[in-house]
């Protein structure tokens, strides 16, 4: 560790224990950036924003050494949606075992880590608090830098975990249960918002339509499965283009499905409606994303978020795009901690760390 200046040394001796810990961590950032040049950096990522408890160790922001996810889908499916209090309590039960197993699978000790990255929002407040407080405890106990990560930015960095790194400038489409965001990314941390949902996000619309059709929860996989046996051209559902804007809107499409279901006579028609709905959503997402990429001269399109695991969306985006499309594997599209650790790595390289007053931000935005 580099020696402190004489004045700094005197201040350090008279500082409170918490201040000394903060000074140590600030020095540790310099140590990581300069003394360990050429050494591979390992980060522990923790994700508890919704109903998945996840932990991962990632090396140099690219190489996944472990990636564990404990899903609560079986618990919440009986209620037809996520119950926040139940999710929080389940995180309390599973977080520590998941973190310990992630460290074991990565064959890593606490002394091997360079920082702790944790999701601070957006998400469910109670769920976020579990992850953030555990991350704080580990970072403080081990003398490691703490990095608070935006969950949406984490979805973007899932694209750095496989194959070749994306090329800037690029268009990012983040589609999940609560978000549909289109951004221009010019470099690490350099985002220009283009459009976002005005009402229902794509994933939210999938969940609501699945409920209307009686297909169960979560809606995305249920709609995709039902659509396999359906005819997508049987019902021409509206496309909410919102001309002159890169924004999205799926509320009207959901209402159109509700009206169709009122006249539903045979079980087989559910598959046709599911296929027609899915095609309408995918058509809008792909058309708007490709148009933005053409207009802004992007070199690549990348996707992130749970809806990005939808096979028709992945296929149509690749077919229609004039530039390369990068989409993470389905396991990295849904909530996971590897994307949080990867994102944290690039923040750490930039010298950005969080203080001990780090708090959750349930309504956090990316830009």
Provide the Cα torsion 220, 275, 279, 52; round to 10°: 0
Which of the residue ranges 33-37, 59-63, 111-115 would you say has the lowest mean pLDDT? Answer: 33-37
More confident residue, 331 or 23: 331
55-79: pLDDT as tens digits: 999 999 999 999 999 999 889 988 8
How would DSSP label each residue in 103-171? HHHTT--GGG--EEEEEEESS-HHHHHHHHHHHHHHHHHHT--EEEEEHHHHHHHGGGSSSSPP-SSEE
Structural domains in the chain? 38-162+331-367 (3.30.420.40), 167-327 (3.30.420.40)
pLDDT at position 35 is 43
Residue of 156, 161, 139 whose CA lies nearest to 148: 139
Tell how strand 42-47 and strand 115-121 pair up: parallel
Residue of 327, 326, 323, 328 whose CA lies nearest to 299: 323
With contact defined as beta carbons under 8 Å apart, do 172 and 194 qualify? no
Contacts of 165-168 with C-beta under 8 Å, sequence gap 24+, read: 165/62, 166/300, 166/302, 166/326, 167/299, 167/300, 167/324, 168/299
pLDDT at position 20 is 43
Cβ neighbours of 27 (radius 10 Å): 16
| Tally of residues, the chain | 367
pTM here is 0.90
149-196: pLDDT as tens digits: 999 999 999 999 999 999 999 999 999 988 999 999 999 999 999 999
pLDDT at position 16 is 57
Portion of the chain with pLDDT greater than 90, in percent: 82
DSSP-derived 3-state class of residue 355: coil
Q: What mean pLDDT comes out for the span 215-223?
A: 94
């Amino acid at each position: 560790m580099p020696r402190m200046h004489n004045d700094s040394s005197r201040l350090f001796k008279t500082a409170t224990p918490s201040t000394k810990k903060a000074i140590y961590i600030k020095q540790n950032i310099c140590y990581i950036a300069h003394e360990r040049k050429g050494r591979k950096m390992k980060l522990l990522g923790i994700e508890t924003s919704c109903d998945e408890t996840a932990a991962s160790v990632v090396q140099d922001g690219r190489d996944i050494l472990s990636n564990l996810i404990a899903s609560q889908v079986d618990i919440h499916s009986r209620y037809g949606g996520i119950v926040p209090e139940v999710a929080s309590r389940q995180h309390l039960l599973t977080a520590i075992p998941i973190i310990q197993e992630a460290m074991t699978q990565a064959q890593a000790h606490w002394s091997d880590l360079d920082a702790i990255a944790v999701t601070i929002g957006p998400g469910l407040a109670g769920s976020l608090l579990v992850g953030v407080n555990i991350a704080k405890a580990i970072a403080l106990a081990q003398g490691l830098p703490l990095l608070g990560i935006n969950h949406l930015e984490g979805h973007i960095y899932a694209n750095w975990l496989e194959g070749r790194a994306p090329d800037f400038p690029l268009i990012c489409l983040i589609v999940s249960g609560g978000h549909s965001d289109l951004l221009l990314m010019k470099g690490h941390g350099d985002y220009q918002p283009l459009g976002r949902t005005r009402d229902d996000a794509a994933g939210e619309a999938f969940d609501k339509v699945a409920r209307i059709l009686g297909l169960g929860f979560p809606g995305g996989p249920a709609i995709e499965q039902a659509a396999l046996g359906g005819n997508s051209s049987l019902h021409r559902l509206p496309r909410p283009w919102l001309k002159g804007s890169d924004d999205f809107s799926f509320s009207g499409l959901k209402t159109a499905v509700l009206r169709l279901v009122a006249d539903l006579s045979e079980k087989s028609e559910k598959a046709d409606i599911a296929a027609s709905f899915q095609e309408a959503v995918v058509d809008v997402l792909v058309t708007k994303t490709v148009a933005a990429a053409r207009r802004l001269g992007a070199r690549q399109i990348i996707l992130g978020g749970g809806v990005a695991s939808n096979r028709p969306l992945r296929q149509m985006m690749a077919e229609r795009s004039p530039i390369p499309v990068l989409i993470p594997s389905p396991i990295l599209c849904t909530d996971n901690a590897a994307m949080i650790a990867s994102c944290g790595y690039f923040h750490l390289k930039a010298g950005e760390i969080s203080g001990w007053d780090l708090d959750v931000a349930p309504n956090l935005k990316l830009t």
